[in-house]
Structure 1
């Protein structure tokens, strides 16, 4: 799924409307929204006729979409109460609702909230500022307390459309119906968690002239793109990963990085990390080689701590003209510029240090930060977190890995992720694909095996996930 910014959406809508807005796009949007609302009523109440719907109406076209859709429901026998909660409602939409038999009421005249089968959030659209006024936030909170499911129009009111930030009160929707194209907030946390199920309604926008802001991968695309070995593939064709991770202080990082590389499908793994990690690796991963030699991808940095020769280790790896993954402590030992065949895998704090900004700035606008990281270093950058973003230098579109459960956010997960990415990189895939595929595999494996599994155990399950995908595609 691709997502486009507010500015891009405005251009797309103007192009579709032509020189004069005759309301066609709004009617298409309202028709699609009404269809989703009717389906939700059938699913939740068992019928459409006689159900009770509350519409929260704000100003402009977002409120207009909600009102026109509500008018369609009213003509089907739905009891509709509309309440203006912000600004001046869309005049034509309001008239249409009244003509169809819907009621327009003040907040003081609302029925008991638990009497409603569904609420429609038509308060703020893509032009709204994030956050909600206190009185609107109070009403939204009372709907949540009454367990009334909310269908958001275009986006949940209160979230930031272009960044996914939620700096204040906002709607938490069961379903969000968006029009024409997805917006970044639908794909970026924390707004994504408030979006619920996303339904995209086609209103006739032509996106061919616009480069998307985001390109979100799904599970099927990940499985189709995985570098499956041919029958004739040997260990070198599958790819050899050289792992230089961990230290005497943090031997576990080297162990977990190696688990990721082995279970991510590398043909062979060479471990040149600390001696203290080798006994554990030998006991559990006896196929790992403890000697330098030919590799197709490097993995460096996890658990290094204060490594005196870190600059030299990274410089030597880069000079080998083999791609690599640079993680955690290793990022601080990078040269000024790296090839785009190299992948950096920082979390928000590490990326903030790289850019010389506060962590909060990365968290508030992760898209800008991950692009800045790629531009600053010349490398491909995977920003780890609740939403995992991949940016390439000179490329506008940022890729989004398949999301997973929050169980993966624990110590060691980044180490195993580095190994997964390095395994894909060693197979010959470009750095941006290695990042998306590795991150998506880890997330989907965690979703298939819920619970707080230790990172190295989850890495083992990644091999099971790959095996299941292989069987699905090679019955």
Structure 2
């Protein structure tokens, strides 16, 4: 269940089962709808006031399907009318839930009729806000006319509030195959649906607000898809104690860099030292080692005893490094596998050579590298196909090679071989720059050397990487080296926030915090 540390997301089947259980003991069929609708109306009013200064007199068009989401929208419309909002309702399937019609008590335009559709399209084109209650988590397939026509008619100037999830996205996989709603805000009830955390759907959900309607106790304690909050990262972050020394804080062996990409090794070392590693021991070309020592004099340029490895960042066409990667993979030690080592690791482990448990091996591919990994296990996938269903493709590699896969992107997902995953969306779009992935690998290497499992490592490294990028960017361009420079500050602020949040304050009143996930315009190398 969603807590202060973790946001849990569930399948549509899990949510529907929980809702059915709640309805079985509810005092009336519309009890849950009334709770959901009131929360939805409050969000709509807040958005209207923020945009226009006042909600009074603004035009809100409700697009209501025949299911409970349509009823939620209609009952919310009643609350909006009571606040002076001009509410119009459109039935996208010919009729809407009787509960919603009874509460709203305004004429409902039937968009399945040609004359009604024309009238509805005109209303949508002039709306200040459109409330998307077309379909919910039981959706199958793409939106069809008239719903698709109405969605396409929504003007860019209108605020769009989605009920439960944006219509047109797959509730479980997050895939989008046709016309869909792009929301400014999604108000979700009962539980987060997986599509609200999984790309590409998460990228069209806008800001996500969770309204608790009393269903959460009926859900599993842990969702298969999760998102770490700042407190969740802080709770897991390894911090040194009075008895620690450089050898107890993690010894990380790094095999990285090449003639073409010498800076990759430097950035990986900077990322590791910037987030708390005790010692880095570098293996690679001498001139790359010289470059590392110019920028990171703390690094050691010789192989030796290590607790974990970071392999492959910037490695290209070097027989000695390839041999070092093979030897490292054979040790059974935990490892972060990046760039030039990914295909080797996948091929070996898919073939049964698995000295290290899958929950201690973290792969960090971008989409192209994941595509090559899929080819290595005999599965062809296009870039477009991977972007359409990134979770499913990452899981295919994770399962076949018994590894944990961190797939970099505007929303980064970390998928374990058992399907459990994290989805993190924590950095600015400026993060998509050369070398940022090498810094991320270094951060992950530091956490891996500290003994953290791969799934937690991937989510935590992604979070701190994103926060450091936000500090470095300050709404402008950045270089990857600046991400590494700001990583210590990102960690420090995270831990300070944790300390402050648990320290009691005299006279402070408790408050409510809205659940929040997703965002717009994120990027990652």
What SS does structure 1 have at the residue aligned with 2:179? Answer: coil
Counterparts of 1:203-242 in structure 2, within 5 Å, are: 203-205=213-215, 206-209=217-220, 211-242=222-253
Offset from partner CA, 1:403-426 (integer Å, 9 cap, x none): 322222233222221111001111
Counterparts of 1:162-201 in structure 2, within 5 Å, are: 162-201=172-211
Segments of 4+ moved more than 6 angstroms: none
Counterparts of 1:24-173 in structure 2, within 5 Å, are: 24-98=31-105, 101=106, 104=109, 106-109=116-119, 116-129=127-140, 131-133=142-144, 136-145=147-156, 147-173=157-183
1:163/1:364 contact within 8 Å kept: no
What SS does structure 2 have at the residue aligned with 1:241? Answer: strand
Distance 1:156 1:453 in 2: 32
Counterparts of 1:377-388 in structure 2, within 5 Å, are: 377-388=401-412
Superposed displacement of residue 103, structure 1:
5.7
2:132/2:161 contact within 8 Å kept: yes
Moved more, 317-326 or 39-48: 39-48
Specify the alignment match of 2:357 in structure 1: 339
Offset from partner CA, 1:127-181 (integer Å, 9 cap, x none): 2245444654454344323x11111111111222112222322222121111100
What SS does structure 1 have at the residue aligned with 2:87? Answer: strand
Specify the alignment match of 1:353 in structure 2: 372
| 1:7 to 1:474, Cα distance in 2 relative to 1, 3 A | closer
Q: 2:461 aligns with which of 438, 443, 463?
A: 438
Superposed displacement of residue 232, structure 1:
3.4
Distance 1:242 1:176 in 2: 44
Q: 1:419 aligns with which of 431, 442, 448?
A: 442
Offset from partner CA, 1:274-297 (integer Å, 9 cap, x none): 222123222211111111112222
Superposed displacement of residue 40, structure 1:
2.8
What SS does structure 1 have at the residue aligned with 2:204? Answer: helix
1:219/1:402 contact within 8 Å kept: no
Q: 2:422 aligns with which of 399, 402, 416?
A: 399
What SS does structure 2 have at the residue aligned with 1:144? Answer: coil
Moved more, 21-30 or 299-308: 21-30
Superposed displacement of residue 56, structure 1:
1.4
| 1:156 to 1:474, Cα distance in 2 relative to 1, 3 A | closer
What SS does structure 1 have at the residue aligned with 2:192? Answer: coil
2:394 counterpart of 1:370: yes
Moved more, 73-82 or 240-249: 73-82
Moved more, 374-383 or 108-117: 108-117
2:283/2:321 contact within 8 Å kept: no
| 1:311 to 1:244, Cα distance in 2 relative to 1, 3 A | closer
Distance 2:144 2:222 in 1: 34
Distance 2:497 2:98 in 1: 54
Superposed displacement of residue 449, structure 1:
2.5
Moved more, 411-420 or 357-366: 357-366
Counterparts of 1:252-331 in structure 2, within 5 Å, are: 252-308=263-319, 312-331=323-342
Offset from partner CA, 1:196-252 (integer Å, 9 cap, x none): 221111122134446512111112321232111223321112212111112233322
Distance 2:316 2:299 in 1: 23
Superposed displacement of residue 190, structure 1:
2.5
Distance 1:127 1:473 in 2: 39
Q: Which runs of 5+ in 2 are unaligned?
A: 1-6, 111-115, 501-525
Distance 1:469 1:19 in 2: 42
- After superposition, the CA RMSD in angstroms is 2.6
Q: Which runs of 5+ in 1 are unaligned?
A: none
Distance 1:26 1:343 in 2: 43
Distance 2:497 2:221 in 1: 35
Moved more, 148-157 or 330-339: 330-339
What SS does structure 2 have at the residue aligned with 1:333? Answer: helix
Superposed displacement of residue 299, structure 1:
0.8
1:248/1:275 contact within 8 Å kept: no
Offset from partner CA, 1:8-34 (integer Å, 9 cap, x none): 112111222228982332232222222
Offset from partner CA, 1:387-410 (integer Å, 9 cap, x none): 22222233x421223432222223
1:8/1:210 contact within 8 Å kept: no
Distance 2:300 2:420 in 1: 39
| 1:102 to 1:112, Cα distance in 2 relative to 1, 3 A | closer
Aligned length: 471
What SS does structure 2 have at the residue aligned with 1:331? Answer: helix
Distance 1:473 1:209 in 2: 27
TM-score, L = length of structure 2? 0.82
TM-score, L = length of structure 1? 0.91
1:126/1:155 contact within 8 Å kept: yes
